[in-house]
Structure 1
């Protein structure tokens, strides 16, 4: 028997702190007469994180920056199909801090009262009571725990392995000039909306062509001035892994969302630093085997500031779909 494909949806729990209390944003949908989290179905070729940021902006009228992933939900629709909803924590975007990331996003439709006719900021207890579906309390409880544990206010350090490149044995020029393939260019373009969803405003990359070309679509879309670091190249890393480690530590300590683009042989050093600054549960799920990341793949590390320094409190691997 052939089953209908799962309906994939994405959304976010938008949060803020007022007078020391955690508040969240609920929306009311007149079509269903329910109070829920802003969310919606993926568009063709759209990554889950991109869909989450877009849907929240469409339903609330305000752009957001995604934070830590939250537990998702799966249930049957009235038509008997399986629907899977993926959630993130999210904060409202701030100008000018998030201006670069917002510039890299596609325009969204203005809110429609046919879709959402009411919105409300509520405390956690009030929100739990207002939610129509009890299952929607699951991501809310996770959000509240993260806030209580100091793991909710985060910034990202996104690690990107450059897009697919021309094989070494098929390239007769200098190694630093070896380019990415058409697939690599497609992977580079697909990363743009994902990086924008997480608010990336700082770009650090190896100077070698395949890394520079991978990050270039985001640099252009966001209007960012990239920092090309020679120590992130394969050759320089081999001479001094400690300099790569120092670059990663700087990004962890900086509160600005950032992306670092480098090469497969450099990834063990990068991941080792992330692991040293991670909660044990996070360190255990970081990529541990070669190739660590596939070409064009992203590792999003969510970093919280603590009394002991930066701490990676969550990590997620994302492969942006190609159009």
Structure 2
């Protein structure tokens, strides 16, 4: 996963002279939050094995992205599915066995609205919480949670979460920009350009997008009508039971004639409160990114991709959008390249 602002650096608690030799243990989790009676609350879990209070998290399975692992592990440790929001500072520390462990965190909210049902359909069912893993869980206010956490370093993502809340940047929806998967080369295709298909690698990239989009709660699909874009979103559409909205204006040819129609579509997705993915082509990305930049915090706008190819085939730029008094604002962004199995 390549990181843009919003994916905060890891908080390193290793000793200054430690040089790890064993492979790093990669983990992911989330701070599940809610607001009750005007108070920000978070969900802490107690692990009997370690007798500690911490955030729900766990190791990555082979082939998982950090985002997919975070959504899966939090669901398994809290018993409820969650949808990921803005990224938070992660941690890097030594385990009792002397190995380096990295934990990547996101803000998350419990899924529960009717509109959440589609993305959840693309995930495996949530199993019952294992009491051997987690025997207690509590909602606590920020100050109480800071006091309850066993590991001092675990306070860092909570402080960041509270700051996002205070600045109105915690309640967000996602606008994901996907470049279609790897397609058959133009020189090797003798049919119409609009029918040029994905390669086997492109189809694998499309399948790998399914758990990523589900982790963010994507419930709306917008795509170029051309085959390689439509096919990129098809696995997720089928898994989530969604019908994509396709348009000629998102194709390379129509974009060249009228980029303003593409810009309008991106603005509409930013203004909506429903998480969405837009799949298009490399030549269309400059217009898409320009609109995102116009609606971004300066720290985000300054590092959005500016050089061709902007995104690699099958790669996704995830923009986290908060609704403000001045309109939609991209408050964080991530670039995700799902691994191929």
For residue 152 of structure 2, what is the aligned residue in structure 1? 134
Alignment partner of 1:165 is 2:183: yes
Aligned CA RMSD, in angstroms, stands at 0.9
Separation in structure 2 between the aligned mates of residue 108 and residue 305 of structure 1, nearest angstrom = 31
Question: What are the equivalent positions in structure 2 for 1:223-262 lying under 5 Å apart?
Answer: 223-262=241-280
Separation in structure 1 between the aligned mates of residue 23 and residue 284 of structure 2, nearest angstrom = 38
CA deviation after TM superposition for structure 1 residue 94, in Å: 1.5
Separation in structure 2 between the aligned mates of residue 258 and residue 95 of structure 1, nearest angstrom = 16
Question: What are the equivalent positions in structure 2 for 1:176-215 lying under 5 Å apart?
Answer: 176-215=194-233
Separation in structure 2 between the aligned mates of residue 285 and residue 70 of structure 1, nearest angstrom = 18
Alignment partner of 1:17 is 2:39: no
CA deviation after TM superposition for structure 1 residue 42, in Å: 0.3
Summarize deviations over 1:198-227 as a string: whole Å, max 9, x none: 000000000000000000000000000110
Separation in structure 2 between the aligned mates of residue 277 and residue 264 of structure 1, nearest angstrom = 21
Separation in structure 1 between the aligned mates of residue 174 and residue 92 of structure 2, nearest angstrom = 27
Separation in structure 2 between the aligned mates of residue 102 and residue 11 of structure 1, nearest angstrom = 18
**DSSP 3-state at the match of 2:159:** helix
2:20 and 2:99 in contact (8 A); partners too: no
**DSSP 3-state at the match of 2:288:** helix
Separation in structure 1 between the aligned mates of residue 44 and residue 305 of structure 2, nearest angstrom = 35
Aligned length: 323
**DSSP 3-state at the match of 1:256:** coil
Alignment partner of 1:60 is 2:78: yes
Summarize deviations over 1:103-143 as a string: whole Å, max 9, x none: 01122332100000000000000000000000000000000
Separation in structure 2 between the aligned mates of residue 232 and residue 7 of structure 1, nearest angstrom = 41
Separation in structure 2 between the aligned mates of residue 236 and residue 291 of structure 1, nearest angstrom = 19
CA deviation after TM superposition for structure 1 residue 315, in Å: 0.2
CA deviation after TM superposition for structure 1 residue 2, in Å: 8.9
Separation in structure 1 between the aligned mates of residue 332 and residue 166 of structure 2, nearest angstrom = 15
Separation in structure 2 between the aligned mates of residue 223 and residue 67 of structure 1, nearest angstrom = 22
For residue 310 of structure 1, what is the aligned residue in structure 2? 328
Separation in structure 1 between the aligned mates of residue 248 and residue 188 of structure 2, nearest angstrom = 24
Change beyond 3 A, Cα 1:18–1:161? same
**DSSP 3-state at the match of 1:97:** helix
Separation in structure 2 between the aligned mates of residue 320 and residue 201 of structure 1, nearest angstrom = 19
Structure 1 stretches of 5 or more lacking a match?
A: none
TM-score, normalised via structure 2 length = 0.94
Separation in structure 2 between the aligned mates of residue 218 and residue 2 of structure 1, nearest angstrom = 39
CA deviation after TM superposition for structure 1 residue 95, in Å: 3.5
CA deviation after TM superposition for structure 1 residue 288, in Å: 1.1
**DSSP 3-state at the match of 1:286:** coil
Separation in structure 2 between the aligned mates of residue 40 and residue 289 of structure 1, nearest angstrom = 35
For residue 103 of structure 2, what is the aligned residue in structure 1? 85
